[in-house]
């Protein structure tokens, strides 16, 4: 019976085609010395994106090695920030466009600082959310500590970043869309 269940599990993994291939290494854990943690997405050597409410914590450090993190810039209207720290690639590739309606979105983060977790859900489109602005809504539950993690889609055989997770509930997650991030990030000095 165990052999049958194992074979069935391997068959499901083979059908999925993504097992073990998520861009986990591009998402790092950041910690606050007074307790708590969040996530950040590596864009290039020493440069990451995270949620502004994660970057606003004093004394933020990288989980691996405890290196200090410096806030480079925060977005004036959206919960997103650029931070610097001693990180190396693999790096996330920014998508050219936002997630499409019903496109499968994979969110990677460090919920409660315990493990690099992957959750998947369908994009519900871009919506104007009072108090948040224009956000990508994804039909998947996320937990605390995932904030600042990456939302990815598989396009042209590559994982591409379509946003930064900023909030979640038992039924959906809010993501700052890549179009907003690109406009802000590419306009930085």
- Per-residue pLDDT of 33-51, as tens digits, reads 777 888 999 999 999 999 9
**What pTM was estimated for this model as a whole?**
0.85
pLDDT 10s digits, 136-153 = 999 998 887 789 999 999
Weakly modelled stretches of the chain, pLDDT under 50:
1-20
C-alpha count within 13 angstroms, C-beta hemisphere, residue 86 = 8
- DSSP H/E element including 8: helix 2-16
Q: In this structure, are residues 147 and 53 in contact, taking their beta carbons and an 8 Å threshold?
A: yes
Cα 74 from Cα 94, distance rounded (Å): 18
What 3-state class would DSSP assign to 131? coil
- DSSP H/E element including 134: strand 133-139
pLDDT for 5 equals 30
Which residues, in sequence order, are CB contacts of 4 under 8 Å at separation 6+? none
């Amino acid at each position: 019976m165990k052999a049958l269940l194992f074979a069935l599990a391997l068959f499901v993994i083979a059908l999925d085609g993504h097992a073990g291939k998520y861009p986990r290494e591009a998402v790092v854990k950041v910690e606050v010395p007074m307790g708590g943690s969040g996530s950040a997405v590596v864009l290039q050597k020493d440069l990451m994106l995270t949620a502004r409410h994660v970057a606003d914590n004093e004394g933020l450090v990288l989980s691996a090695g405890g290196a200090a993190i410096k806030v480079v810039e925060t977005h004036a209207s959206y919960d997103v920030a650029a931070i610097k720290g001693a990180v190396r690639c693999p790096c996330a590739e920014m998508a050219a466009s936002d997630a499409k309606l019903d496109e499968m979105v994979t969110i990677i983060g460090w919920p409660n600082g315990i493990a690099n977790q992957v959750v998947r859900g369908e994009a519900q489109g871009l919506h104007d959310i009072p108090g948040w602005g224009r956000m990508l809504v994804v039909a998947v539950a996320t937990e605390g500590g995932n904030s600042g993690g990456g939302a990815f889609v598989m396009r042209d055989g590559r994982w591409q970043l379509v946003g930064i997770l900023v909030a979640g509930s038992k039924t959906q997650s809010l993501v700052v869309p890549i179009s907003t991030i690109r406009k802000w990030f590419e306009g930085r000095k």
